[in-house]
């Protein structure tokens, strides 16, 4: 399904031009218009999903193989030192475009891209409770 007034629906389906580096029946992979690093790309499905939660699992299973294919080609083409493959869901997690997409962020030694987080000590009882809570929802 395509969503009216969704910019990524339009880009993925070619109604708005982009620097597309790969296209198939399900996806367009485009260069990010405001790249975090040289070659920053986005895997954008042609159908609309706000984020990962609503995704059909069969469709979701197509995303990572494509991410791997793209990462291999980008690693060779860009001669980068690493690649972050990441995906944000909802505003609190940093999502700003509410059409599911996966970032491929090439990394270069000493670049200033920041995808780090502060780590905390875990509490054993809490970890056990969290484990139980999540497993109950599966």
* Cα–Cα distance measured from residue 94 to residue 86, given in angstroms and rounded to the nearest whole number: 11
Strand arrangement, sheet containing 82-86:
20-23, 27-31, 41-45, 102-107, 82-86
Find the binding residues for ligand 5GP in span 75-134 (CB under 6 A). Answer: 88, 94-97
Which two three-digit tokens encode residue 121? Answer: 């000590």
Which two three-digit tokens encode residue 81? Answer: 């030192």
What distance lies between CA 60 and its chain's CA centroid? 11
Question: Tokens 């995704």 sit at which residue?
Answer: 55
Indicate whether 32 belongs to the interface with ligand 5GP (CB under 6 A).
yes
CB of 9 to Zn ion, least distance (A): 3
Indicate whether 37 belongs to the interface with ligand 5GP (CB under 6 A).
no
Indicate whether 3 belongs to the interface with Zn ion (CB under 5 A).
yes
Indicate whether 33 belongs to the interface with ligand 5GP (CB under 6 A).
yes
What distance lies between CA 118 and its chain's CA centroid? 21
Q: Catalytic one among 40, 99, 101, 103?
A: 101
Sole binder of ligand 5GP in the list 9, 12, 29, 30 (CB under 6 A): 30
Sole binder of ligand 5GP in the list 25, 34, 76, 135 (CB under 6 A): 34
In the chain, % helix, strand, coil (3-state, to 5) comes to: 30, 20, 50
Decide if 101 is catalytic. Answer: yes
- Catalytic positions are 101
Contacts with ligand 5GP by CB under 6 A lie at 7, 11, 18, 30, 32-34, 42, 88, 94-97
């Amino acid at each position: 399904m395509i969503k009216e007034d969704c910019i990524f629906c339009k880009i993925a389906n070619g109604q708005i031009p982009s620097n597309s580096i790969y296209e198939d029946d399900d996806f367009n992979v485009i260069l990010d218009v405001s790249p975090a690093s040289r070659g920053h790309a986005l895997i954008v499905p042609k159908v609309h999903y706000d984020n990962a939660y609503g995704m059909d699992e069969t469709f979701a299973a197509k995303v990572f193989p494509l991410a791997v294919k793209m990462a291999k080609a980008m690693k060779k083409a860009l001669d980068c030192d690493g690649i972050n493959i990441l995906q944000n869901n909802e505003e609190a997690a940093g999502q700003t475009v509410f059409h599911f997409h996966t970032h491929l962020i090439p990394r270069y030694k000493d670049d200033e891209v920041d995808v780090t987080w502060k780590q905390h000590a875990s509490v054993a009882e809490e970890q056990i409770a969290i484990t139980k809570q999540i497993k109950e929802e599966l």
